[in-house]
């Protein structure tokens, strides 16, 4: 698990991705192109720990489908069972297309590898009100 200090009042996005290079690219993209602050966890267990330590509820979850200890779908289902996270939108990243698992859920999916502009557009769509910072 790694994340930066959360002394700022910027809204948060939680990235749960076990591939460190992908997590870093996403984190940099969010930090440089949005008004949000990224937090990173590398497993489901680490995500729960990070959530416990964050000063605010994240405005978006970005979840990898395959994690070392769970799936992004199982993590999403857990978040949906928690009142404080139930309304937080989710973007699921996957190299495969787990359509049967996604269809009954309110999840937006992006296939890996993805175009960074498309990825950013999906983030803006899920957050609905944010714009690119210049």
Q: What is the pLDDT of residues 46-71, one digit of tens each?
A: 999 999 999 999 999 999 999 999 99
Among 3.50.50.60, 3.30.300.30, 3.40.50.2300, 3.40.50.300, name the CATH number for the domain at 12-127.
3.40.50.2300
Of 60, 14, 67, 72, nearest to 43 by C-alpha is 67
3-class DSSP state of 124 = helix
Domains of the chain, residue spans: 12-127
Whether 132 shows a pLDDT value over 60: the answer reads no
Mean pLDDT rounded to a whole number for the chain: 89
| 127 CB-side CA count, 13 A | 22
Q: Tell me, what's the pLDDT at 1?
A: 43
CA-angle at 3, arms to 122 and 125, nearest 5°: 10
pTM for this one?
0.88
């Amino acid at each position: 698990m790694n994340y930066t200090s959360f002394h700022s009042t910027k809204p948060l996005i939680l990235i749960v991705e076990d591939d460190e290079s992908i997590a870093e690219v996403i984190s940099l993209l969010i930090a440089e192109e949005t008004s949000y602050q990224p937090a990173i966890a590398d497993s489901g267990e680490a995500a729960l720990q990070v959530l416990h330590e964050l000063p605010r509820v994240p405005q978006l979850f970005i979840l990898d489908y395959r994690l070392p200890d769970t799936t992004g779908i199982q993590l999403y289902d857990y978040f949906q069972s928690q009142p404080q996270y139930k309304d937080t939108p989710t973007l699921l990243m996957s190299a495969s297309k787990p359509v049967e698992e996604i269809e009954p859920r309110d999840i937006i999916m992006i296939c890996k590898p993805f175009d960074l502009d498309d990825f950013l557009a999906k983030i803006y769509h899920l957050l609905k009100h944010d714009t690119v910072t210049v």
